[in-house]
Amino acid sequence: MGFFKFIFSKTFLIQLVIAAILIIVIAFLALKWLDYSTNQDQRIAVPDLSKQSLDVVDDQLAELDLRYEILDSANFNPDFPRYSVIEQVPEPGQFVKENRKIYLTLNPSGYRKIMIPDLIRRTRRQAEPTLRSLGFEIGDVSYKPDIAADAVLELRHKGQKLEPGDELMKTSKIDLVLGDGSGRYRMEGEEEQDSIISEEEEMEF
C-alpha cells in the first residue's frame, strides 16, 4: 500500500513532471546538435556566374540555397554582355555553407564619358601617357609649323577639333597635331587670311 500511495503522491508527480521536461529538453538539444553537425558537413560549391544575367543568377543561387548582393558596377568590359556578372566573391569552385551571400560586380551598359584635359602646349611625351591613363587611344599624329617641336597644338577626334572640357567616350581615338619645330604655328583663320592676301597681291600684279 505504501508503494501505491507514493506513486499517487504529490511529490512523485512533481518529480515525474520534472523528469519529463528534462527528457524533452535533452531530446530537443540533441536534435539541434545533430542538425547543426550535419549542416557543418554540407558544403556547397560556388557556381561560375561569369557573364550570366541577374535572372539566371537568381535561379542558380536559389536552387543552391545561396543569396547574392550586387556591388557597384565595374568599368565597362566589351568582352562581357551588358549587365552581366563580371566579378564574384567567393570565386567559382570555393565551398561555402548554405545561405551564404555571394557578392557580384556587374558590367555596366557601356563606356562612360571622360573629360578632355588641357594638353595644349604640352609635349607629346606628356600628352600621350595622360590620354592613355584616362582610357583614350592615340590615333593619327600629324605635324604643323611651330617653333616648339612635338608640342601639342590641337587634339582632334574624327576630324573635329577638341577643346579642354569636352567629353568623349572612353577608348575613343584622339588624333594629335604637333609642332614640327620649324616655325610659328598658324591658326586656321590666319591661314585663310594669308591666302586672301596672297590672292590680292597677285591681282595687283
**What is the tens place of the pLDDT at every residue in 88-118?**
999 999 999 889 999 999 988 777 889 999 9
Three cell numbers at 55? 535572372
Residue 56 lies in a domain: yes
Residue 15 lies in a domain: no
Residue 137 lies in a domain: yes
Distance CA 173, CA 137 (A): 5
In the listed set 54, 88, 106, which residue is the last one of a domain according to the structure? 106
pLDDT beneath 50: ranges in the chain: 192-202, 204-205
Helix ranges (H only) for 75-179 are 124-133
How many C-beta neighbours within 10 Å does residue 191 have? 10
Residue 83 lies in a domain: yes
- Return the CATH number at 57: 3.30.10.20
Residue 117 lies in a domain: yes
Could you tell me if 54 and 90 lie in one domain? yes
Could you tell me if 120 and 179 lie in one domain? yes
DSSP per-residue codes, 119-144: -TT-BHHHHHHHHHHTT-EEEEEEEE
- Smallest Cα–Cα separation from 162: which of 124, 193, 131, 195? 131
- Residue 13: the pLDDT is 74
- Residue 122: the pLDDT is 95
Which parts of 71-125 are beta strand (E)? 85-89, 95-96, 101-106, 113-115
- Residue 202: the pLDDT is 47
Q: Give me the domain span that covers residue 97.
A: 44-106
Q: Is 127 buried (19+), middle (13-18) or exposed (0-12) by CB count in 10 A?
A: buried
Contacts of 139 (CB under 8 A, 6+ apart): 157, 173, 174, 175, 176
Distance CA 180, CA 124 (A): 11
Could you tell me if 135 and 95 lie in one domain? no
CA atoms within 13 A on the CB side of 168: 22
* Per-residue pLDDT tens over the stretch 61-79: 999 999 999 987 767 888 8
* Phi, psi angle pair for 163, to nearest 5°: -110, 150
Could you tell me if 121 and 77 lie in one domain? no
Residue 205 lies in a domain: no
Distance CA 175, CA 161 (A): 9
Residue 193 lies in a domain: no
- Residue 196: the pLDDT is 42
In the listed set 106, 123, 154, which residue is the last one of a domain according to the structure? 106
Q: In the chain, how many domains are there?
A: 2
Contacts of 3 (CB under 8 A, 6+ apart): none
Three cell numbers at 4? 501505491
